A and B are shown apart, each in its own frame.
Chain A
Amino acid sequence: AQSVTQLGSHVSVSEGALVLLRCNYSSSVPPYLFWYVQYPNQGLQLLLKYTSAATLVKGINGFEAEFKKSETSFHLTKPSAHMSDAAEYFCAAVKYSSASKIIFGSGTRLSIRP
């Protein structure tokens, strides 16, 4: 069965520091992978997606993620955190099939210290 694991329910970094949010997937076949961001009282917004075209994926707001098949990982990074990055981040996966569904990780809350 396909699953998505996000390590760390809460990550806190200083403004200007590196952001690293971890995501691992469990699947015999590499799925398509996504990172979403959820700001308070809002819906989910797509940050970036991996669809096997390139292992390093760049997204909006300066975020990027690298797909590593050997580690079954898709970690999200940003070189320099900004206060506006404080939000909940979700890693998600979908496998190509007739009954595709998007499976979400449990989420990581990112806090930014001034």
Chain B
Amino acid sequence: DTAVSQTPKYLVTQMGNDKSIKCEQNLGHDTMYWYKQDSKKFLKIMFSYNNKELIINETVPNRFSPKSPDKAHLNLHINSLELGDSAVYFCASSQWAGTTPMNTEAFFGQGTRLTVV
């Protein structure tokens, strides 16, 4: 049983399109994240949600809009895609450090490789 699953795994689309990436976790965690990994493998946090509430927004362009319908899901919608959005996007989940700091490790999905052409 996959702990953190994201779909799709690959996404190829044209500039200007709108696309969504879905993420679900079955670990019972209350915090979920979106990370972007660029071509040099650098991982940068984009958003974090705790119990469906936005906790962190790391100055990500407004074209990126996360949505958390419940604490097990965190989807990422991207409007007006640009070439520079091409990257691997990882969803992750963890227990919230505010209550269980000893168990703050994140569990990652397999990633979504987004290619904008």
Contact = CB atoms under 8 A, between A and B. Distances in A.
Interface in B13-54: 31, 33, 35, 40-45, 48
Contacts, number: 73
A94 interface: yes
Contact of B45 (A36, A51, A88, A102): A102
Nearest to A107: B41
A97 B56 CA distance: 12
Contacts of B94: 102
Interface stretch (A16-24, A39-47, A62-70, A78-86): A39-47
A46 B104 CA distance: 11
Interface residues of B, number: 29
A97 B50 CA distance: 13
A58 to B, nearest CB: 15
A101 B90 contact: no
B110 A42 contact: yes
A39 B56 CA distance: 28
Contact of B101 (A88, A96, A109): A96
B112 to A, nearest CB: 10
A96 B97 contact: yes
Contact of A44 (B42, B90, B96, B98): B90
Contacts of B55: 98-99
Contacts of A53: 102
B37 to A, nearest CB: 9
A61 interface: no
Given A44-B43, A97-B97, 14 more contacts: A32-B101, A38-B41, A43-B4, A43-B90, A44-B90, A96-B97, A96-B101, A100-B96, A102-B104, A104-B43, A106-B40, A106-B41, A107-B42, A107-B43
